Amino acid sequence: MCVCVGVTVRCPGSPGHGSRFIENTAAEKVRRIINLFLDFREKEKKRLNLSECMTLGDVTTINLTMLQGGVAYNVVPEELMASFDIRIPPTVDYKAFEEQIKAWCQDAGEGVTYEFYQKDMNQTLTSIEKSDPWWSAFSCACEQMDMTLQCEIFPAATDSRYIRAIGYPAIGFSPMNRTPILLHDHNEFLSERVFLTGINIYSSLVSALATVPALEGEA
């Protein structure tokens, strides 16, 4: 699963009346920040589109999700803020990526700072080797149901991140096939047939996983 990072960049500037050419404005800085973040977004998008083997979980996604600031139409604000939703694959050096954010802020102008409102630095990967008893039980159950598995790093965040945070491996799974991806979109839906089939799939998987014997060191 990709790491979900939320960052807000604060851009301070000189306030004043909207009729003047004020120097060192917050708007100039926030424009620079938005350009830097979205230029990187475009590079990652092109990298994904040019590769036949990459999935969304193999690249870093960035989206501008909030803009805040201003008090009146004719007042140049003393601060503007831009918030970004970022999903980072576990293969990326997180410290190096944060240094990149820091460099973007420095490039945008004096006094520009950033703060995380969400930051998960867990880079743990769950084994999908046949030798792993949990994966073996899971994948064999899928084979018996004549299901083809597509393994990839999930780009969005799920509650499994809390399980990984306390040291347990976790596998995300969705039987929602033949369904368009409409997460947080308009008219998000699941057909009745896919829903009912999913119940049977989960029943088989739970039964298979429940038969995995206790591992060495487990109670």
CATH class name, domain 133-210: mainly alpha
* H/E stretch holding 36: helix 26-49
Average pLDDT over residues 179-207: 87
Report d(CA 88, CA 118) in Å as an integer: 13
Q: Angle at CA 137, nearest 5°, toward 136 and 141?
A: 115
* HEC profile of 63-101: EEEEEEECCCCCEECCEEEEEEEEEECCCCCHHHHHHHH
pLDDT category at 217 given cuts 50, 70, 90 is low
Asked which of 20-29, 34-43, 45-54, 79-88 is least confident by mean pLDDT, the reply is 45-54
* CATH 1.10.150.900 residue spans of the chain: 133-210
Give CATH 3.30.70.360 domain extents, the chain.
3-119
Dump pLDDT digits (tens) for 93-128.
Answer: 888 999 999 999 999 999 999 999 887 766 777 888
The domain 3-119 is placed in CATH, from the list 3.30.70.920, 3.30.70.360, 3.40.50.300, 3.40.50.2000, at 3.30.70.360
For residue 214, the model assigns a pLDDT of: 78
**Residues near 54 by beta carbon (within 8 Å), at least 6 away in sequence:** 47, 48
Alpha-carbon distance 217 to 5, whole Å? 35
Predicted pLDDT of residue 182: 77
Question: Token digits for 31?
Answer: 């424009």
Lowest mean pLDDT among 1-10, 12-21, 46-55: 1-10
Grouping H, G, I as helix, E, B as strand and the rest as coil, residue 204 is helix
Q: Looking at residue 162, what is its pLDDT?
A: 78
Token representation of residue 10: 């604060």
Per-residue pLDDT, averaged over 136-153, amounts to: 88
